[in-house]
Amino acid sequence: MEIDIGIKEKDRAKIAEGLSRLLADSYTLYLTTHNFHWNVTGPMFNTLHLMFETQYNELALAVDEIAERIRALGFPAPGTYKEFQKLTSMAEPEGVPNAQEMIRLLVQGQEAVVKTARSIAPIADKASDEPTLDLLTQRMQVHEKTAWMLRSLLEG
């Protein structure tokens, strides 16, 4: 059945492609954050362990929202490591970094997701795709705030 939501198919395709990149970045950040939750050590263990858990739980919900928006636009959502690896702008960390490096890498990851989301906004805006714009705005707010909180741990 054809989709008729007031957005042309070619525009929906461009938006879905951008959201697929956002999904890949978000899932890569989810996996990295979960990895760091499991493997963090040091004097800030409890604080970071709990903070990382809160962050990966939020990301788990976010990837579902992003994938469901892609589906609502009429396209399949990527869902394999192979697809995510091709689409993501982020590199997975090698080995188990120390806690300070984990924080630094997560700041970079949060900021990468913001940049990807921001790159999709003009395409969604031009197509008058308010639901996608709303999703992007929410994601940018969460990731900018999380990056700020993580950066604050590196000061001093």
Range of the domain at 49: 14-88+97-154
User: Is 48 part of a structural domain of the chain?
Assistant: yes
Q: Has residue 39 been placed in a domain?
A: yes
Calculate what percentage of the chain has a pLDDT beyond 90: 95
Q: What is the domain count for the chain? A: 1
Dist. CA 28–CA 78, nearest whole Å? 13
Instruction: Indicate whether 114 belongs to any domain.
Output: yes
Model confidence pLDDT, tens digit, residues 104-131: 999 999 999 999 999 999 999 999 999 9
Who's near 108: CB < 8 A, 6+ residues apart? 90
Mean residue pLDDT across the chain: 96
For residue 80, being part of any structural domain is answered with yes
Q: Is residue 1 part of a domain?
A: no
The pTM (predicted TM-score) of the whole model is 0.96
Q: Is 50 domain-assigned?
A: yes
User: According to the model, what pLDDT value does residue 24 have?
Assistant: 98
76: CATH: 1.20.1260.10
Gap between the Cα atoms of 15 and 9, Å rounded: 10
| Integer Cα distance of 37 and 119 in angstroms | 29
Residue 149 domain flag: yes
Question: What is the identity of the amino acid at 77?
Answer: A
Q: Is residue 59 part of a domain?
A: yes
Question: Which residue carries 């900021």 as its tokens?
Answer: 111
For 60-115, how does the pLDDT look when each residue is reduced to its tens digit (9 = 90+)?
999 999 999 999 999 999 999 999 999 999 999 999 999 999 999 999 999 999 99
